Amino acid sequence: MAPSALQDSPPPLAAAKAGGQALEDVSDAVDAVNALKYDAASQFDTAKDKTAFRQYETACDRVRLFYAEQHAKQTVAYNLAARNRFHASSRARPELTVWQAMEKLDTLVDESDPDTSLSQIGHLLQSAEAIRRDGKPRWMQATGLVHDLGKLMLFFDALGTQGQWDVVGDTFPVGCAFDPRIVLAASTFAANPDTRDPVYASPLGIYAPGCGLDNVMLSWGHDEYLYHVLRDQSTLPDEALAMIRYHSFYPWHREGAYRELMAPKDWDMLKAVQAFNPYDLYSKSDDVPSVDELKPYYMELIDEFFPQKVLKW
């Protein structure tokens, strides 16, 4: 198990490239909707005009279509199959350092749309730099640096990624009733066969009260994938792993859903995720960072929290 931060202070490749900008458009539109209500006690964004993030009217149609597909297809059966593919002993896991992973992810956008305003490395460095400027601990800076690397799943055919719906978007538990506080829940879950299963459609479903989120199957995507990659290949504390796994779990950390599944530990994890969220959403409006200038600092940070250097993805 990862140490607690409380103990320390301070698809085929061609298809992936072709769909990179479309994926980022959807991901950014989802973030725009998520920015509508959320605010937190971060410092870096106090002077920002958060109305600039209120793009709900322009994002709504795109987001509605995305969630209609995601909510229809994120079933228990699909999630079990996705995890089986990830853990399969026959799967040859690609090996990359964290910085190599960042550079590879950069091609998702850069090679499909050279005019894109922000690269993947740019967004990761923006998040990490905002956290750093606010004087947050080094482990949290490292978390900001890597938090979106799960999108690499688009490059790895053996994972069986099917499109945008199983990569980005808000996450939620499968195997129990879909909470109405999930974004657009009222109009998008009717096509999901789990809503007609007497167990999966019940309030607790396959879970026991207070079972703990460690034991809950969240909808498969880049957050869940990266969590499974890093939990035994880093020295990041539990709070950092929670930031990675749950930062898209908006029904839980913003809307207050699924409290009945939480174990005592999860309340501390909730605070961590809520502290991280603004650095993901609002840092996207910051100036584009200089990769060359910042690389030495972040290479040192990577070595600190990823001591085995080359990770199995």
Annotated binding site for substrate: 54, 110-112, 151, 169-170, 247-248
Residue 283 and residue 127 in contact, taking contact as beta carbons nearer than 8 Å: yes
> Residue 262 and residue 41: Cα distance in Å, rounded?
24
Pair 150, 108: CB distance under 8 Å: no
* Sequence ranges of the binding site: 54, 110-112, 123, 147-148, 151, 169-170, 222, 247-248, 280
CB neighbours of 76 closer than 8 A, spacing ≥ 6?
174, 175, 194, 197, 200, 206, 217
User: Residue 126: which of 299, 311, 298, 307 has the closest Cα?
Assistant: 298
Q: Read off the amino acid at residue 76.
A: V
Q: How far apart are CA 152 and CA 11, in angstroms?
A: 10
Q: Which of 244, 292, 45, 225 is nearest to 144 (CA)?
A: 244
Number of residues that make up the chain: 313
List, as residue ranges, the binding site for Fe cation.
Answer: 123, 147-148, 222, 247, 280
233 to each of 97, 140, 228, 259, 312, how far by Cα in Å? Answer: 11, 16, 9, 29, 8
